[in-house]
Amino acid sequence: MSPKPDVASTQWAENYSEYAAWLQRGSACRANAFTVQAGTGVPEFAVQECREGLRRLCADEGAGADNTPLCLRLNMALPPEGYRLKSDTGRCVTLEGADANGLLYGIYAFLLRLAAGANLEQLDEASAPAARYRVVNHWDRVDGVVERGYAGKSIFFRENTLVYEPKRIRDYARLLASVGINGISINNMNVTLESARLISDEQLPLVAKLAGIFRDFGIRVALAVGFESPAVLGGLCMEKPLDASIADWWAQRANAIYSHIPDFLGFVVKADSEFQSGPSAMGISQAEGANLLARALAPHGGLVFWRCFIYDCLQDWRDTQTDRPMAAYDLFKSLDGQFEPNVILQIKNGPSDFQVREPNSPLFGAMPGTSQGLELQITQEYTGQQIDLYGLAVHWEEVLAAPGHAPGQLRNLIGGAIQAVSAISNVGDDENWTGHTLAQANLFAFGRLAWNPALTANEIVREWAALSFGGAGGVAEEVAEMVLASRAVYEKYTTPMSLCWMVNINHHYGPSPEGYEFMKWGTYHRANWEAIGVDRSSRGTGYASQYAPQLAGVYDDIRTCPQEFLLYFHRVAYSHVLPDGRTLLQTMYDSHFEGVQAVEGFITAWEGLKPRLPVSVYASVHARLLRQLDNAREWRDVVNTYFYRKTGIADRQGRKIYP
Ligand code: GCV
Give 65-101 pLDDT, tens digit per residue: 567 899 999 999 999 999 999 998 768 899 999 999 9
Nearest CA owner, ligand 1 atom 13: 309
Grade residue 1 by pLDDT with cuts at 50, 70 and 90.
very low
String of DSSP letters for 248-314:
HHHHHHHHHHHHH-TT--EEEE--SBTTB--TGGGTS-HHHHHHHHHHHHGGGT-EEEEE-----TT
Confidence bin at 290 (pLDDT 50/70/90): very high
- Rounded Cα distance, 521 and 103, in Å: 47
Residue 62: is its pLDDT beyond 80? no
Ligand 1, residue 424: give the atom nearest the CA.
13
| Total length of the chain | 659
Ligand 1 atom nearest residue 190's Cα? 1
Element of type H or E holding 72: strand 68-74
Are the C-beta atoms of 88 and 94 separated by less than 8 Å? yes
Q: Which of 353, 376, 500, 504 to mutate to test the pocket of ligand 1 (most atoms within 8 A of CB)?
A: 353
**Ligand 1: nearest atom to the Cα of 377:** 13
pLDDT, one tens digit per residue, over 186-230 is 999 999 999 999 999 999 999 999 999 999 999 999 999 999 999
Ligand 1, atom 2: nearest CA belongs to which residue?
353
DSSP 431: T
Q: Show Cβ contacts of residue 597 under 8 Å, excluding neighbours closer than 6 positions.
A: none
CA 221 to centroid of ligand 1, rounded, Å: 21
Give the residue, out of 142, 148, 355, with the most ligand 1 atoms within 8 A of its beta carbon, to mutate for a pocket test: 148
- Determine if ligand 1 sits within 6 Å of the CB of residue 501: no
Looking at this protein, which amino acid is placed at residue 359? Answer: P
CA of 156 relative to ligand 1 center, distance in Å: 19
* More confident position, 17 or 31: 17
Of residues 1, 52, 7, 10, the one with CA closest to residue 31: 52
Q: Whole-angstrom Cα distance, residue 41 to residue 23?
A: 27
Q: Is 148 helix (H, G, I), strand (E, B) or coil?
A: coil
pLDDT per residue as tens digits for the range 149-181 = 999 999 999 999 999 999 999 999 999 999 999
CA atoms within 13 A on the CB side of 467: 28
User: Which residue lies with its CA nearest to atom 11 of ligand 1?
Assistant: 190
**Ligand 1 geometric centre to CA of 418 (Å):** 22
138 lines ligand 1 (CB under 6 A): no
| Beta-carbon count within 10 A of 117 CB | 13
Q: Specify whether the CB–CB gap between 99 and 74 falls below 8 A.
A: yes
Question: Is the pLDDT reported for residue 27 higher than 90?
Answer: no
Cβ of 478 below 6 Å from ligand 1: no
Cβ(189) – ligand 1 distance below 6 Å: yes
pLDDT for 542: 98
Output the CA 273–ligand 1 centroid distance in Å.
Answer: 9
Query: Is any atom of ligand 1 closer than 6 Å to the C-beta of 272?
Result: no
- The pLDDT-based confidence of 120 (bands split at 50, 70, 90) is confident
For the CA of 273, the closest atom of ligand 1 is 14
pLDDT at residue 3 tops 80:
no
Segment 394-436, tens digit of pLDDT: 999 999 999 999 999 999 999 999 999 999 999 999 999 999 9
Residue 61 has pLDDT above 60, yes or no: no
Ligand 1 in reach of 147 Cβ (< 6 A): yes
Q: At what angle do helices 100-115 and 44-57 cross, to 10 degrees?
A: 10
CA of 381 to the centre of ligand 1 (A): 9
Question: Residue 376: CB within 6 Å of ligand 1?
Answer: no
Tell me, in angstroms, the distance from the centre of ligand 1 to residue 303's CA.
22
Would you say the CB of residue 141 lies under 6 angstroms from ligand 1?
A: no
The DSSP bridge partners found for residue 420 are 133, 373
SS3 56: helix
What is the CA(640)–ligand 1 centre distance, in A? 29
How far is the C-alpha of 54 from the C-alpha of 34, rounded, in Å? 8
Q: How far is the CA of 517 from the centre of ligand 1 (A)?
A: 18
Active site residues: 274, 353, 381
CA distance 347 to 419: 12
What percentage of residues in the chain have a pLDDT greater than 90?
A: 92
Q: What is the pLDDT of residue 90?
A: 64
Determine the atom of ligand 1 nearest the C-alpha atom of 147.
Answer: 10
Question: 268 falls in which pLDDT band (50, 70, 90)?
Answer: very high
636 touches ligand 1 (CB under 6 Å): no
Q: DSSP class of residue 98?
A: S
Which residues, other chains included, contact 319 with Cβ-Cβ below 8 Å and sequence gap of 6+?
A: none
Going across the sheet that includes 83-88, the strands are 34-38, 68-74, 92-97, 83-88, 124-127
- Considering the chain, what is the average pLDDT of its residues? 96
Tell which atom from ligand 1 comes closest to the C-alpha of 139.
Answer: 1
